[in-house]
Structures are given as C-alpha cells and as structure tokens.
Chains A and B, each alone.
Chain A
Amino acid sequence: MATVRLFGGLRRRARDPKISVDGVTARDVLASLCRDNPGLHAVIWDGARVRDHVRGLIGGQAIELGRGLATRVTADDEIAIFPPIGSGGNTT
C-alpha cells in the first residue's frame, strides 16, 4: 500500500491527511483514494483527467514530468497531492 499525503484545503475533504491506498499506477491510487473519500473527487478529477491546478508528486518529483498517471507506484512510495497553490500543469 502506497501512502498518500494531502495538503491545504484537501484535508478538509478527507478523513485523514495521511492515507494508505492500494494501486499499481498513479491513476489507480488516485481513483481508489477518491472512492474512499468521495469529497475529494470533484476537486481532483475533471472527467478522466486530473484537474489542471492539482499538483501530484511521487517521492518529491512531479508526476507529469515523468510518466504521468501511468507511473508505477510501489508500497514504499509517498504520493503527495497539493490543491491549487497555483499550478496548471496537466497531469495526464
């Protein structure tokens, strides 16, 4: 199980700022995170894409500059999700 850490206003929408989530890819992890915490869905997803202003990092590196949502996730990984503190890049 990978660890997801939520920041800023996302914390109000989830049961805990730090959550263990199953998933093989970044996409799986985000999907299952939002299933367990439905309040997050609308602020993270825009259809099948991650919203423009949501920032995702695995091990401190921007997901979108790597393999995007297809990035494979291991149990040791920490995935950080930041709400709009700016942003805009497409995490596709």
Chain B
Amino acid sequence: MHGWAGKVLDIDLSKGAIKNYPLDEETARLFLGGRGLGARLLWDAVGPGVAPLSPENVLIFATGPLTATGYQTSNRFSVSTKSPLTGTVLDANSGGYWGMQFKKTGYDALIVRGRAPAPVYIEIKDAGAKILAARHVWGQRVRATTQTLGQNNNKRNVLCIGPAGENQSRIAAIMNDGERSLARGGPGAVMGSKNLKAIVVEGTARPQVLDQEQFKFMLYEARKLLRQSPLTSQALPEFGTAVVLNIVNHIGALPTRNFQQSQFERAEAISGETLAEKYLVKNAACWACPIGCTRVSKTDKIEGALSGAEGGVEGPEFETTWAFGAQCGVDDLAAIIEANAICNDLGLDTISAGSTLGCAMELTEKGLLDSDLRFGRADLLAPTLEALGARRGLGAELADGSLRLAKKYGAPELSMSVKGLEMPAYDPRGLQGQGLLYATSNRGACHMRGNMLGLEVLGLPKLIDRFQVYGKSSYVILHQNASAAIDSLVVCKFTNLGVAEEYFARTLSAVTGVKYATGDLIRVGERVWNLERLYNLREGFTNADDTLPPRLLKEPVSDGPSKGWVNQLEPMLKEYYRARGWDERGVPRRAKLEELELGAL
C-alpha cells in the first residue's frame, strides 16, 4: 500500500500477547486513518455494556495515510476509546513528533487491550514491540517520565500518562513528547486502568508515496498558501492561538465565571497580545509544520522540575487561557501559565480542569459546596490542581469532572458541559451555530469538530450573521464533516486555515493512488460522523442528549453585544436532523447509511 503502512499492531496486556496483521484495504479506503479508522475499529472491539475503565475497553492509537509523508503538519495521530467521562465514542488527537515516529515503526494503528498485572510500558521499534516493566517510572510526572524513557528529538519519542492518569481521573490526558496532549474525554484514565504508563516509539520506515512528482507540487502549493494566508503566516506565529481571545471577548462570546457572563472585563490582561509582550520566550513548531503556533512562555512561578527548554513551558493555548482565566474570573496570566504547566505535568485536560474549577467556584459561592474556591482566586489554581491530580481532599471531588461534581452537590445544571464533556471557550448565546455544534458533537461539547468561529466571527471564508438561526445547520454539518475528514488524514486543522479541502483530497490521491475528489473526502467525514452517531445510539444515547446546559437555553445574556440572547437550539436541531438525513429522533435513516456504505452496520 502507498501512504498507509498497511499493518495493525495488536497488544493484549492481560495475556502479554503481541500480534500484527494487515490493515484491511477497504476499511482504509472508507475511513482513511486517525479518528475514522479508530471509530471503525472501536465499533467492533468495544460493544455496549463495557465499562470504560474495565480491561474490556481498548485504546486505539491511529495515524493516517498522510502521516510522516512530510506533508505540512503530517505529524498528528489520534487515540480512540470509549470515554470514561462521557460514555460516548471518543477520539482525541495530538501533534508533536510521536505520531510521525510511530508510523515510521511500520504500523498505521496500535490496539491495546486488557490490563497488565503490574505497571508496564510498551516499546515499539522497526523490529517489533516489547512489553517492559514500568515500576521505575510509575508515580512519576510527565516531564520526568518522558526524560527517563529516553525522549530524543525526532528519533525516539515518548507518550505517557502522569499521576492524574494513574489515579484514573476521568479528565486525565495522555501526553506525548512531554507537553503535547490527547486531552479530552479522559483517555489518560483508560491508560491508567490498563496499568500502562507509556509507549515509546523509534522507527525508520518512511511511508511510500505513489506519485512523487504530484506530491512535490502539492507540497509546493501548500507552502505557498500557508505563506500567503495572514492567519498562518502572521497571526498564529506572532500571537499563537490566544490571538482570538480579544475578539471573542469583544463580541460578547467569551464565557466568564462559569458562563454567568459573556464578557470578561479583564480580558486584555490575559490576551495573546499580553502573553507575547510579557511572557513569550520563543515560538516552537511540531514536525513538518511551517506555521509554528506553539508558545514557549516563562514566568518566575515556573522553575525547577516544571520548566523545560530555556526555563520555559509550552503554551498556554487560547482554550487553556480561557479555562483558568475568564472561566475562573482570574486575570493573572502568570498563574494561568503555571496552571497550564501543572496540568501538562500531571497529565490533565486543561479545558475540563479549568471548567470544573469554575463550576466548583460557583457551587461554593452559591453555598452548595464548602471550599475556599472563589472566582478570581488565582492563588488557589496551582494547589487545587495538584490535589486533583493526586485525588486528595477537595481534589478527589474535582477529579471526575464538573458534571459528577455538580450532581453530587445537587446542581447538575451548573456543569457547563454537553454529554458530560466541558464546553470550550465560546458562549453559544453569542454564537448560535457554535451552540448547535456543541449540542450535536459526538464526543460531547467540542470546538475541534467543526468550529463556527471562522464563519460567525472571523469571516473565514466569508462572514455570516452569528445570531442567524435559519439555515445554520448547513454550515455546521459541512464543518463537522470536513473536520472529521481532516482528523482522519490526520493533519492539523490550522493548516486548513490556509489550505482548503480540495488540496487535501488531491494530496491524498497522489500519495495513495486511490482517487478522492473533494466531495469524496468530505463524504469520508460524513461517514465517520454517522458511524460515531451509531456508536452513541448503540450505547443508549438519544436525541435528548443533544442539548446544552439550561443556562444557555433559558438565561439571556445580561449585558454587552450579545445582550438578550439565549441559544435558539430547538429550531436549529430540527433542521440539523433533517439536513443530515436522520429521523426526528436523530437516528440516521437507512437510505443515508446505504449511501455512506454503512448499511452493514
């Protein structure tokens, strides 16, 4: 096969059994790799009734046909599993080096099953895989584990969990290359439940590219586009993802103090501009990425074991800045940078961690929870996160996310989540389409499965009215499908800010020799989206789960440019089901499944 390595590695930790077998070509054609391939393999491997933290759940690490080819941002990979946070199908993806390195060991995907009797790590080289004892790193934090196991630039790469994953926090991330994360939905807890501390990869086999000449042309075109796009050539390199914080706040869509307000009066203090001015050390980039949006920042709060290159730490990204900033009413950027560094070292999802803290702050202020947490208490971020990772004291209450916390204290409506996954940094009352996106996203509220920021705020490719309801479902569906396709290639969504899907389709055709028109690639995304929907329906989810927290549906924004708005979910959702070819209960119709070659499921 070209593009694909053509092999799947399958490791059962209970039995200590390692096997490999060919990747099914038809499955590869239909689902590509990454998120799509992961969802397809998960469909067969983990049925209803399997508890996410039991040995019967699996972890599927998957690359795609473009991974490691050298195409711009072809460094990414994903993990798929049944989420311990939401109970839905889950995939999370990450950049850095590990995905590229894993592909070079000669595999497209790794399936990990069972539970090791004692802590282990897996080492994969060209010659094969080994299961090794991990007693010496169990209990260590992420940075230490990564170093101990021999992280070496782009030659040997380490993926691991930290204490939060070992303690099976349902918001635990899997970390790779030290500071990159597969964060959302708690995949770190699944890894912890398997007694699997780390996976180390070292490979030399570059994937085969069928039409070299055409591939070179596509590389050239993408380079040109990324240079010409003001986003990928100026805004992201200069300010990182936090560049959007000021504009999101300005329009009244930056959720503040657990979504009680939609503007943060101290936004400027935590903006990308301030980060660049006061704390930025340098930019960094993932493998084969010409954009380089990664921040390396430094404050005097970070020293010793927490700090990395040049005494700095990667991040914080926009979402993280929001989660520990506006969501918690905190305007101290240094404290946010520290909170981000601690999450990375413990192996925690920063969005869920920050949002859960914000939820706890509101529960406390409303007298429902007895704690010191209050909005604005920057000084409590670091100690609370340490307690959370260790499941100690109040931390034990927070370790399983905001929904379980808010339910326990009698106010589930104060969890700002969808299907149990904490919402990212956009208030759906100020961005109507984003609300529909959150409500229908298969892994719970997510801004990476299609994001309406481009259309509703930035005017990418063209501006549409953010308060418009009628017709919004079309845009949401297109972006959901496109993002599922991009997550299956796998490339970085920021590439897509300069390079359109038609380029990806042509590159995919040149690399694999399988012909994909632009429409075919988007259709792969639609197929993946419908498969994920079927998975959730099989788990017992219904249309009643396609909703938003009541605050966003019933409490109008009190002030600012989004004043008076709630999210008009109901009409958008009805239109969405019809436009997707689903029935009024949100179940895909037979004709739609046949059209997508999913009829056999």
B205 in contact (CB, < 8 A): no
B340 CB, nearest partner CB in chain A, Å: 21
Given known A60-B561, A82-B246, contact A89–B251 (CB-CB < 8 A): no
User: Bound complex: CA of A84 vs CA of B453, how far in Å?
Assistant: 14
Evaluate contact between A64 and B243: CB separation under 8 angstroms. no
User: Bound complex: CA of A57 vs CA of B243, how far in Å?
Assistant: 16
Evaluate contact between B246 and A60: CB separation under 8 angstroms. no
Evaluate contact between B462 and A89: CB separation under 8 angstroms. yes
From the candidates A7, A9, A64, name the one contacting B246 in the complex (CB within 8 A). Answer: A7
Evaluate contact between B234 and A61: CB separation under 8 angstroms. no
A88 in contact (CB, < 8 A): yes
Which of A9, A11, A85 has the most chain B CB within a 10 Å cutoff? A85
Nearest B residue (CB) for A17: B273
Contacts of B243 in A (CB 8 A): 8, 85
Evaluate contact between B463 and A64: CB separation under 8 angstroms. yes
A80 in contact (CB, < 8 A): yes
Nearest A residue (CB) for B562: A60
Evaluate contact between B235 and A85: CB separation under 8 angstroms. yes
Evaluate contact between A84 and B234: CB separation under 8 angstroms. yes
What are 23 A-to-B residue pairs whose CB atoms are below 8 Å?
A7-B247, A7-B273, A8-B273, A9-B239, A53-B230, A55-B247, A57-B247, A57-B251, A60-B560, A61-B251, A62-B459, A64-B459, A80-B247, A80-B250, A83-B230, A83-B235, A84-B231, A84-B234, A86-B235, A87-B230, A87-B460, A89-B459, A89-B463
Which of A9, A62, A65, A86 has the most chain B CB within a 10 Å cutoff? A86
Within 8 A of B (CB), among A48-92: 53, 55, 57, 59-62, 64-65, 80, 82-89
User: Bound complex: CA of A53 vs CA of B462, how far in Å?
Assistant: 10
From the candidates A8, A11, A59, A87, name the one contacting B459 in the complex (CB within 8 A). Answer: A87
Given known A84-B230, A85-B247, A87-B458, contact A8–B235 (CB-CB < 8 A): yes
User: Bound complex: CA of A57 vs CA of B459, how far in Å?
Assistant: 12
User: Bound complex: CA of A11 vs CA of B252, how far in Å?
Assistant: 22
From the candidates B238, B252, B459, name the one contacting A86 in the complex (CB within 8 A). Answer: B459
Evaluate contact between A55 and B458: CB separation under 8 angstroms. yes
Contacts of B234 in A (CB 8 A): 9, 83-84
Contacts of A11 in B (CB 8 A): 273
Evaluate contact between B250 and A60: CB separation under 8 angstroms. yes
Contact surface of A with B, Cβ cutoff 8 Å: 7-9, 11, 53, 55, 57, 59-62, 64-65, 80, 82-89
9 closest Cβ pairs, A-B complex? A60-B561, A84-B230, A86-B458, A89-B459, A89-B463, A87-B459, A86-B460, A88-B459, A85-B235
A59 CB, nearest partner CB in chain B, Å: 6
Contacts of B454 in A (CB 8 A): 86
User: Bound complex: CA of A60 vs CA of B235, how far in Å?
Assistant: 21
Evaluate contact between B497 and A86: CB separation under 8 angstroms. yes
Within 8 A of A (CB), among B560-582: 560-562
A17 CB, nearest partner CB in chain B, Å: 8
Within 8 A of A (CB), among B434-486: 453-454, 457-463, 465
Within 8 A of A (CB), among B224-246: 230-231, 234-235, 238-239, 243-244, 246
Given known A57-B251, A65-B465, contact A8–B239 (CB-CB < 8 A): yes
Contacts of B239 in A (CB 8 A): 8-9, 85
Evaluate contact between B231 and A59: CB separation under 8 angstroms. no
Q: A85-B247, A85-B458, A86-B231 given. 10 additional CB < 8 A pairs?
A: A8-B243, A60-B252, A60-B562, A83-B234, A83-B235, A85-B235, A86-B230, A86-B497, A87-B460, A88-B461
Evaluate contact between A85 and B244: CB separation under 8 angstroms. yes
Evaluate contact between A57 and B273: CB separation under 8 angstroms. no
B272 CB, nearest partner CB in chain A, Å: 8
User: Bound complex: CA of A26 vs CA of B120, how far in Å?
Assistant: 64
Contacts of B230 in A (CB 8 A): 53, 83-84, 86-87
User: Bound complex: CA of A65 vs CA of B319, how far in Å?
Assistant: 27
Contacts of B561 in A (CB 8 A): 59-61
User: Bound complex: CA of A32 vs CA of B412, how far in Å?
Assistant: 52
Evaluate contact between A85 and B231: CB separation under 8 angstroms. yes
User: Bound complex: CA of A74 vs CA of B497, how far in Å?
Assistant: 35
Contacts of A87 in B (CB 8 A): 230, 458-460, 463
Nearest A residue (CB) for B252: A60
User: Bound complex: CA of A57 vs CA of B466, how far in Å?
Assistant: 13
Evaluate contact between B459 and A55: CB separation under 8 angstroms. yes
User: Bound complex: CA of A85 vs CA of B247, how far in Å?
Assistant: 9
A15 CB, nearest partner CB in chain B, Å: 16
Nearest A residue (CB) for B272: A8
Evaluate contact between A88 and B497: CB separation under 8 angstroms. no
Contacts of A7 in B (CB 8 A): 246-247, 273
